[in-house]
């Protein structure tokens, strides 16, 4: 009986090792890049948090950081084990509306900071937005190179969350006047919207 138990345990160990090693070379390097991007984004949030003045931005920062922390743990566990993570991929929910202000207003030209004392809500929100865009890009590259099916699914499912968090930050920036959205004239917009038509010509 002990010999049978030993064989069963060895088989399980071998299976686990096989799953955890079910990664291609491109996948490993892209996943290192992706996970490093998550860590960088979280570090940015920690560094910038004491400089935030706006309660709204602080709320966004905290909610996004806590969600990203869970996302990080889920991705790392899936990457290390090759198995379904103990906590599945969640879905980020914005708490703001989705209304943008359109149009441009003249203002002072933007320039790089001269010293750290100039760090403000506009700069912090820009850092956070750039970090989310970076994660979405890194996750997309990793998902297209991943051979392990669990890791591919976990990473691919995380991309919409990065997009949602970036969208929330861009709305905040727009509402505060940090990010302006120009528009074409109504005539040009309609011309572009109507430039394409649907088709019903499937292959057989």
User: For residue 14, is it within any domain?
Assistant: no
User: For residue 50, is it within any domain?
Assistant: yes
The structure tokens listed for 79 are: 């990457």
Q: What gap in Å lies between CA 53 and CA 3, rounded to an integer?
A: 66
User: For residue 141, is it within any domain?
Assistant: yes
pLDDT range class, residue 65, cuts 50, 70, 90: very high
Q: How large a percentage of the chain has pLDDT more than 90? A: 62
pLDDT range class, residue 1, cuts 50, 70, 90: very low
First-residue to last-residue Cα distance in the chain: 59
The mean pLDDT of the chain is: 87
Q: What gap in Å lies between CA 192 and CA 188, rounded to an integer?
A: 6
User: For residue 131, is it within any domain?
Assistant: yes
Q: Is residue 16's pLDDT more than 70?
A: no
User: For residue 17, is it within any domain?
Assistant: no
Residue 97 confidence (pLDDT): 82
User: For residue 109, is it within any domain?
Assistant: no
| pTM of the complete model | 0.84
Q: Between the CA of residue 28 and those of 46, 56, 145, 152, what are the distances in Å?
A: 27, 38, 9, 12
The structure tokens listed for 198 are: 């649907």
Give phi and psi for 79, each to the nearest 5: -65, -40
DSSP class of residue 115 equals S
- Please give the residue that has the higher pLDDT: either 204 or 191: 191
Using the CB atoms, write b or e for 29-54: b if 16+ within 10 Å. Answer: ebbeebbebbeebbebbeebeeebeb
User: For residue 52, is it within any domain?
Assistant: yes
The residue segments making up the domain with residue 174 are: 24-93+120-193
Instruction: State pLDDT tens for residues 79-120.
Output: 999 899 999 999 999 988 888 899 888 878 888 888 888 889
**One-letter-per-residue 3-state SS of 50-97:** HHCCCHHHHHHHHHHHHHHHHHHHHHHHHHHHCCCCCCCCCCCCCCCC
* Structural domain count, the chain: 1
Q: What gap in Å lies between CA 192 and CA 94, rounded to an integer?
A: 30
Instruction: State pLDDT tens for residues 166-191.
Output: 999 999 999 999 998 899 989 999 99
Mean per-residue pLDDT, 143-168:
94
Give phi and psi for 102, each to the nearest 5: -105, 150
The structure tokens listed for 38 are: 């998550």
User: For residue 200, is it within any domain?
Assistant: no
Mean per-residue pLDDT, 56-66:
97
In CATH, what number is assigned to the domain containing residue 177? 1.20.1260
Q: What angle do CA 119, 121, 123 make, to 5 degrees?
A: 55
Give 176's contacts (C-beta < 8 A, 6+ positions apart). Answer: 54, 121, 122, 125
pLDDT range class, residue 45, cuts 50, 70, 90: very high
pLDDT range class, residue 199, cuts 50, 70, 90: confident
């Amino acid at each position: 009986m002990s010999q049978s138990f030993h064989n069963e345990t060895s088989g399980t160990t071998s299976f686990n090792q096989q799953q955890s090693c079910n990664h291609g070379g491109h996948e490993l390097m892209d996943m290192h890049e992706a996970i490093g991007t998550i860590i960088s984004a979280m570090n940015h949030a920690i560094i910038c948090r004491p400089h935030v003045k706006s309660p709204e931005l602080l709320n966004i920062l905290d909610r996004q950081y806590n969600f990203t922390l869970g996302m990080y743990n889920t991705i790392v566990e899936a990457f290390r084990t090759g198995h379904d993570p103990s906590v599945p991929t969640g879905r980020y929910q914005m708490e703001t509306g989705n209304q943008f202000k359109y149009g441009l207003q003249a203002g002072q030209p933007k320039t790089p900071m001269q010293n750290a004392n100039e760090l403000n809500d506009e700069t912090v929100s820009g850092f956070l937005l750039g970090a989310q865009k970076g994660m979405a890009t890194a996750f997309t590259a990793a998902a297209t190179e991943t051979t392990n099916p669990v890791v591919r699914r976990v990473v691919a499912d995380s991309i919409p969350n990065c997009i949602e968090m970036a969208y929330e930050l861009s709305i905040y920036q727009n509402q505060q006047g940090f990010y302006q959205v120009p528009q074409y004239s109504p005539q040009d917009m309609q011309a572009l919207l109507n430039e394409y038509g649907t088709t019903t010509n499937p292959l057989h």
